[in-house]
Amino acid sequence: MYEKTVVGWDGSAPAQAAVDWAVRWVEERSRAVRIVRVVDSDALDADDLDIRWSVAVATFALAEVAAQLRVGHPEMDVTTAVALGEPAEVLNEHAEGDSLIVVGTQHGHIDEYWFSSRLGARLAAVAGRAVAVIPITDSRERSGVIAGISGFDERASVGLFAAEVAQLRSEKLHLVYACPKHTVRSEAAFGHCDDAAFDRTLSAVSRAFPTLVVHCHVEHTSPASALLLRARDASLIVVGTRRPGVARRLVLGSVSHTLVNNAPCPTVVVPTIANGPL
Amino acid sequence: MTSVVAWNGSASARAALLWALRRERERSGRGGLLLLTVIDEAFRSCGQAAMDELTVAARQALEAEVTWVERMAPEVSVTARLLEGDPERELLRHCPDGSMLIVGRGEPRSHFHRRALAPRLASQASVPVALVRADRGQDRSGVIVGVDGSNASAEASVVAAEEAHHRHEPLHLVHAWPGTNPGPPAPTSPDTDLAHHRRILDEAVRAIREGFPSLDIAPHLESGQAASVLSRQAQTAALLVVGSRAQGPVKRFLLGSVSRALAQTTDCPLIIVTEGDHGPQ
């Protein structure tokens, strides 16, 4: 699982946070990391020479980062690519199979450059594979992997992803199921969903990681606020997104969207139904 | 014999560097590694600030890469130079005599390689030029050299034999003859024709045996066009070496048809030796 890790990089502080997080991720798994610098050709109202110049500067800057990584982590397989195009599309093209895509983000900071929160959300919506969005974190001591589970996750992808990280980092795994109590209809409609979601995730996780201790939590608030609250101290939040088909490709689920844009800790968005329509 | 790498920070330049590093290690670092980075003078029209930014980025990247080489291969002496000007001209000017210029080749569909620098460099350099594409993790072995009885191919054979010797790999001398291809009837009969081609190959084998008595040499006489025969053989080879005939000063920037075809098609590292190159001696 996750043979290759693709990092979007643009030289900014959030991008560096993304690289640092990805390096740790790759080191824990001794796999390959590819750092991709996308020169957004649409954003450049420029002639050919200006684009070539941007590419040349980006190529050198990327080469420097890669060389430093290789010096610090000689065992790691670090490759680079500079490409022209739309960032989310290019990053997705560089991710083959089940690669994990990692990008940085800066909350509450929307400007022209492409590591604004929009890239993470957009990638998570279009990628069809796991996307990690890494904010610049505070100095708070963080621990615990949170999986936001739902009744829709047929293959327990969210729980399994979170469990693998918890196992590797020897951290606690928390499964969080949230359902607002005041919504009578949802009580009726989803009354048994939490049990089903827990059962499915617990049995999948205990099969794959028999020694891992799993903590289960049911919260009677909205999923987004339950997860955001826990994000304050967690080291990672994993949420799922449904991909109901091409027509809604650009619409990320509201829970994952909220977390990607606001969580103070790294967030991974995992597609919950592989390749297929609902 | 110094390995000179044309380095611009790209993935293909890195492939060239890795190839050069391996080559130097096989020679216990005796030749030394020289990284040349040329800032294209064309960017001057973007303004001095743009030029300065590019220069700083290039210097930092080059220093980081040199640090990596020193860390990875302490036995290899590595130097780097940052130049400004026309990339082709500056690269050629700064290749020391007796060195080999090693250039990365981008993917054919890459946006940034419309001006295919590598093959043109090969035609103008006074040293052998190696064109290296990123390794796809394929198992490759054996050094192949195309032989046609010309001076250029004799020089290429010597370069190939040197490389095979240091790699401890067999050397395959390949001579392609038109064979039974359809076409106008040959002026000589097929039998004497074949004998003639065999003699060319035998002569090449004899010359290399003299210079490299301990080398494992395998001659191959294949029918077909030279470029397609070599390209087929190169699919699993570790290295392909071809000679290119010296041209007059005007035609000098045109690469021979065989080397040009191979430069475009083969994934295998390719060394082009132009007649009169100050080779490895």
What does the pLDDT look like over A55-103, one tens digit per residue? 999 999 999 999 999 999 988 899 999 988 888 888 988 887 778 999 9
Of B197, B192, B130, B138, which Cα lies nearest the Cα of B162? B130
Closest to B238 in 3D by CA, of B152, B129, B164: B164
Quote the mean pLDDT of chain B.
Answer: 85
- pLDDT bracket for residue A252 (50, 70, 90): low
| CA B256 – CA B248 distance, rounded (Å) | 12
Q: How many CB pairs under 8 A join A and B?
A: 69
Q: What sign does the CA torsion over B176, B177, B182, B183 have?
A: positive
B29/A15: higher pLDDT? A15
Residue of A nearest to B106 (CA): A81
Q: Percent of chain B at pLDDT above 90?
A: 56
Higher pLDDT, B179 or B252: B179
Name the closest residue on chain B to residue A81, using Cα atoms.
B11
Q: What average pLDDT does the segment B35-54 reach?
A: 94
Q: In the predicted model, is pLDDT for residue B129 greater than 80?
A: yes
Q: B54 touching A, CB under 8 A?
A: yes
pLDDT digits (tens, 9 = 90+) for B236-251: 999 999 988 766 555 5
Q: Is the pLDDT of residue B254 over 70?
A: no
- The residue of A40, A59, A60, A80 whose CB has the most chain B CBs within 10 angstroms, and thus the best one to mutate to test that interface, is A60
Compare B105 and B58 and report the one with higher pLDDT: B58
Q: For position A105, what pLDDT does the model report?
A: 84
Q: Do B40 and A60 touch (CB under 8 A)?
A: no
What is the pLDDT confidence band of residue B203, given thresholds at 50, 70 and 90? very high
Query: How far apart, in whole angstroms, are the C-alpha atoms of residue A101 and residue A131?
Result: 5
C-alpha span between B11 and B18 (Å, rounded): 11
CB contact under 8 A, B57 and A60: yes
A84 close contact with B: CB closer than 8 A: yes
Q: What pLDDT score does A190 carry?
A: 47
For residue B26, pLDDT beyond 80: yes
Nearest neighbour of A61 by CB, restricted to B57, B67, B71: B57
- B-chain CB neighbours of A68 within 8 Å are 64
Q: Are A80 and A62 in contact (CB under 8 A)?
A: yes
Angle made by CA atoms A4, B102, B168, in degrees to the nearest 5: 85
Q: Tokens 């951290």 correspond to what residue?
A: A171
Q: What is the pLDDT of residue B245?
A: 77
Q: Which burial class, exposed, middle or buried, applies to B237 when counting CB atoms under 10 A from its CB (0-12, 13-18, 19+)?
A: buried
Residue of B nearest to A55 (CA): B112
User: Of the given ranges (A224-228, B1-5, B75-79, B117-121), which has the lowest mean pLDDT?
Assistant: B117-121
Q: Cα angle at A44 between A40 and A47, to 5 degrees?
A: 125
Q: Which residue of A has its CA nearest to B59?
A: A60
Q: What is the DSSP string of A49-64?
A: HHHHHHHHHHHHHHHH
pLDDT at position B113, please? 46
Q: Evaluate if residue B91 carries a pLDDT over 60.
A: yes
- Beta carbons within 10 angstroms of residue A192's beta carbon: 10
CA-to-CA dists, residue A75 to B24, B30, B125, angstroms:
21, 26, 36
Q: Which residue, A267, A278, A245, is CA-closest to A130? A: A267
Q: Per-residue pLDDT tens for A174-183?
A: 999 887 765 5
What's the start-to-end Cα distance of chain B, in Å? Answer: 9
d(CA A233, CA A230): 6
SS3 assignment, position B190: helix
Q: What is the pLDDT of residue A116?
A: 46
The pLDDT of residue A269 is 92
Residue B255: what pLDDT?
A: 63
Length of chain B: 281
How far from A209 is each of A162, A164, A239, B101, CA to CA, in Å?
11, 8, 19, 53
Distance CA A267, CA A101 (A): 12
B11 part of contact set with chain A, CB < 8 Å: yes
3-state helix, strand, coil in chain B (%, to 5): 45, 20, 35
pLDDT class of A150 with cuts at 50, 70, 90:
confident
Interface of A with B in 15-74 (CB under 8 A): 49-50, 52-53, 55-57, 59-64, 66-68, 70-71, 74
Give me the interface pTM, i.e. the ipTM: 0.85
| pTM beyond 0.80 | yes
The residue in chain B having the minimum alpha-carbon distance to the alpha carbon of residue A46 is: B46
Look up tokens 């060394």; give the residue.
Answer: B271
CA neighbor of B62 nearest in space, from B106, B125, B121, B5: B5
- Given a cut of 90, is residue A187 above it in pLDDT? no
Taking CA–CA distances from B63, the nearest residue in chain A reads A64
> What backbone phi and psi angles, to 5 degrees, belong to A98?
-105, 35
pLDDT of B144 strictly over 90 = yes
Give A151's contacts (C-beta < 8 A, 6+ positions apart).
Answer: A190, A193, A194, A196, A197
Strand-by-strand arrangement of the B270-274 sheet: B78-85, B33-40, B3-6, B100-105, B129-133, B270-274, B239-244, B143-146, B171-177, B217-223
* Highest-pLDDT range among A116-130, A257-271, B128-142, B143-157: B143-157
First to last CA, chain A: 23
Cβ contact, residue pair B64, A82, below 8 Å? no
User: Among residues A233, A231, A198, A199, which one has the least CA distance to residue A217?
Assistant: A198
**Helices B48-72 and A48-72: crossing angle, nearest 10°?**
30
Give pLDDT, residue B118.
66
What does B25-88 look like in DSSP terms, one character per residue? HHTTTSS-EEEEEEEEGGGGGG-HHHHHHHHHHHHHHHHHHHHHHHHH-TTS-EEEEEEEE-HH
Q: CA Rg, chain A, in Å?
A: 19
Give residue A275's pLDDT band: very low, low, confident or very high (50, 70, 90): very low
Distance of residue A115 Cα from the nearest chain B Cα, in angstroms: 21
Measured in degrees and rounded to the nearest 5, phi and psi for residue B241 equal -125, 130
Place of tokens 């297929």: A276
Which pLDDT belongs to residue A13? Answer: 87
Report the candidate in B156, B242, B154, B238 with the shortest Cα–Cα distance to residue B204. B154
Q: Would you say B268 and B140 are in contact if contact means Cβ atoms under 8 Å apart? A: yes
- Please name the residues between 30 and 49 in chain B that touch chain A, using a CB distance below 8 Å: 40, 42-43, 45-46
Q: Is A60 within 8 Å of B54 when comparing Cβ atoms?
A: yes
pLDDT range class, residue B208, cuts 50, 70, 90 = very high
pLDDT, averaged across chain A: 81
Please tell me which residue, B113 or A167, carries the higher pLDDT value: A167
C-alpha span between B163 and B148 (Å, rounded): 19
Minimal C-alpha gap between B68 and chain A (Å)? 5
Nearest to B11 among A56, A57, A81 (CB): A81
Tokens 């979170």 -> residue = A162
Residue recorded with tokens 């002026």: B187
